Structure 1
Amino acid sequence: MTTFHDLLGTTEHTTPSEIKKRYKLLSHRLHPDKLGSSALMQLITSAYNEILQGNGNKTCESVSSDKLILTKQYAQKLK
């Protein structure tokens, strides 16, 4: 199963400032104003918020697999 860390391309050892940088990079590329998707933008925003609350290792069960795969692909490209 995919975790919130998987969506942003982070781990439980990633610092908060690095998490914020990852979120900004993904949100810049996936933002609807940049020809991205509002659904994907909402997904990474919720993943970012969950990670900040300490829930980064929880699985994303309520999200469709297509959105998860697409978001993970964007995160991998940024590494």
Structure 2
Amino acid sequence: MAEISMQDVFQAIKELSADVKEVKSEMKELKNDVQSIKQEVEGIKDHVKHIDTKLDIFTEDLADARTEVRILKKERV
């Protein structure tokens, strides 16, 4: 079995350390991406709630208008 020199060990540690730093950096970027996506999703949820509220109001207004039309038709007859 070949002997491993201390220099080889130090070089391997250096390389592993560089790899760890790179992975940490990538993890940080991914966390930032996830946070951005979460914020976008929250914005979309708020927008959907707003649209849903407008749709509810429109539906109520439409029902009121239909009722008024029925009343007016009965008054004509």
Q: Which has the larger radius of gyration?
A: 2
Write 1 or 2 for the structure with the bigger share of helix. Answer: 2
TM range, smaller chain? under 0.3
Higher relative contact order, structure no. (Cα contacts within 8 Å, ≥ 6 residues apart)? 1
